Chains A and B, each alone.
Chain A
């Protein structure tokens, strides 16, 4: 019996070894290195190993940091709220109103097609769409809704969040749809028989039962938006910044220790948010 037990753990570890090795080499070590480098000093062209709080002092001493940090959280929260409402609605439609599996698959695949174009190219193509003489403005003007082109459509917070919603709503739809599909349909009938209105069923039955899907989707959207640096650059026309852009700007200037310090702060923020969310849901049980 005892031998059996040992061999179970041994075989388990042998099978998991490649995964553990990849994570050790390409996740744990690099992150440790970032933490170490964040205490180094740097000159214009090189890094000097040291144990100095210089980078952090500079980071926390600059008002820019707080503004950028606030911006990062703002983008994350707004994008989260919008993708949640939109993603839930789309998932609800697919799960409860589309009746045949074939149609569900077809409509779902239809949602994934745009993701086969390169992210970056899709982002650039918002420019002819939202720009001063873009499709959106000329359409609105021809309908007589507006007289002059709307300037805030492009290179603004609006366009940044629009791009986030465009990129990440599907990450919300998939897990919510997955949990909705596993709701026992007789529960809905029971609610109906007990006299609940459609809205009451939604609030008291469907939403509590899809909580785990909502959490998983939220984790995806929040981490993707918090860690982004390229969407904000393209869609704000380099006019606003988030933590990711701060890091990538430092990298472009070869200021690795400074980039590492910002990275550590970003990492801590993201991990705290996720730890809070994970307290509410057990991912493994939900798949």
Chain B
């Protein structure tokens, strides 16, 4: 092993500080959520207890967080599935270099850079003026897609840029139809990346605040409920909620990573038989 230059140690130190900076708030939340029953939103700690976690399950203390959690979960799954399907289709479409692809791509970039509050305002106005009424599963769902689809599509671009078309040609030479090529060759190869698209879709939706602010209607999603809590809840119960939602996110990410490992293992097993003879 060659000797590390001085810059390595300097940069390591900067990286460590950066991590500390990133984790600062998360750790503060973690510690303060175990505040004693008499404690407040700030230090010092007045004892250590699970009091505030217990409060989360008392209806009167926190309002409708479990209802909003359920809605966020359903909405996240809806957005996730739609993002995956629409991104795959669009990714395949862009490979065909159809007329007008450039314009559509510009729109996708526009969707990414237009401030969330504008989409929220516009979609909210459209649904309320159109007499449809805003609801998280219609207007909220749509305005979140304008945020998740660009990410999904960009990941698909990255995937297809690295995709070897020789696999498809081989399948076609063997007489596979376009659908069979897609189903049995392309999709299995890109499956691990689709996990990434799904994870992005779910987490971006699950944590989205600005785009749902004016489009969710009378039933709040979890980030909106938390936003409401910041103005009228002055106890560490909100930190307990933060700790709990972080735990939940860990579980989600662990699930996706597990799924990824599973897919990769399958790919290795079903992988190349080159050189094994006939």
Contacts and interface: CB of A to CB of B under 8 A. Distances in A.
User: Is chain B a partner of chain A in the same complex?
Assistant: yes
A189 to B, nearest CB: 13
A203 B245 CA distance: 43
B142 A22 contact: yes
Contacts of A166: 21-22, 25
A19 B98 CA distance: 14
A26 interface: yes
Interface in A206-240: 219, 223, 226-230, 234
B29 A251 contact: no
Interface of B: 4-5, 7-8, 11-12, 14-15, 18-19, 21-26, 28-29, 32, 41-43, 85-87, 89-90, 92-94, 96-101, 104-105, 107-119, 121-123, 125-126, 129, 142-143, 145-146, 149, 153-154, 157-158, 161, 203, 207, 209-210, 214, 222-223, 226-227, 230, 238-239, 241-242, 245-246, 249-250, 253
Interface string A173-203: 0000000000000000000000000100000
B245 A19 contact: no
Contacts of A19: 86-87, 89-90, 93, 104, 108, 149, 153
Contacts of A126: 25
B98 A226 contact: no
A133 B138 CA distance: 45
Given A27-B119, A111-B19, A93 B113 contact: no
A32 to B, nearest CB: 8
Contacts, number: 255
A110 B16 CA distance: 11
A25 B111 CA distance: 12
A270 interface: yes
A33 interface: yes
Interface stretch (A5-13, A50-58, A59-67, A145-153): A5-13
- Closest 5 pairs (CB-CB, A-B): A227-B115, A30-B122, A12-B98, A116-B249, A15-B93
Contacts of A34: 118, 121-122, 125
